[in-house]
Amino acid sequence: MNRTEILEELKKILSPYTVDKEKLAAINDDTDLIKDLKINSANLVDIIIDAEEKYNVEIDYDSAEKMIKVGSCIDVIAERLSEK
């Protein structure tokens, strides 16, 4: 799975947690989940768990703390997928 494919899947994961669907459709590596998509910080762990379930990977808390921008989310998911 390449970065573009992960990005498209990530949009589906993020969708329940943001009301700004226009910004969600236009996300890129620099998009900040909290500042740009207005996702509540209390949902950040939900997003990580959803990603774990979607890709059947385990994301430890050291990696999870990096998942604040779309690009770093894709980095972490791609890294975990490559280890499978």
Partner 1 sequence: MTSIGNDIIALKTIDIPRTRSFGFYSKILSVSEQQLYQEQFTAIPFELFVWLLWSVKESVYKCLQRHQPNLIFSPVKIELKRLIVPAVQSSSFHGQLANTGFTDSECFCSEIRLGPRRFSSRSVIYGDEAIFTVAQPAEDCHAESVEPSGADLRQTQADNTNFSDIHWGIKQINSSGFETQSAAVREFLLEILYILYPGRELRIIKNDAGCPFLFVDGQAVEQRISLSHHGEYVGYALA
Residue 5 or 79: the one with the smaller Cβ distance to partner 1 is 79
Q: Can you read off the two tokens belonging to residue 63? A: 């990696």
Is the separation of the CB atoms in 74 and 83 below 8 Å?
no
Q: Is 3 helix (H, G, I), strand (E, B) or coil?
A: helix
In the complex, the smallest distance separating the C-beta of residue 4 from partner 1, rounded to whole angstroms, is 26
Q: Which is nearer to partner 1, 5 or 38 (CB)?
A: 38
CA angle 49, 55, 56 (to 5 degrees): 75
Which residues of this protein are in contact with partner 1, per CB under 8 A?
19-20, 34-35, 38, 40-42, 44-46, 48-49, 52, 58, 61, 64-66, 68
Rounded CA-CA distance 61/66 in Å is 9
CB of 62 to partner 1, least distance (A): 8
Task: Pick the closer one to partner 1 by CB: 10 or 63.
Answer: 63
Q: How far is the CB of 2 from partner 1 (least distance, A)?
A: 26
Instruction: Note whether 10 and 49 are within 8 A (CB).
Output: no
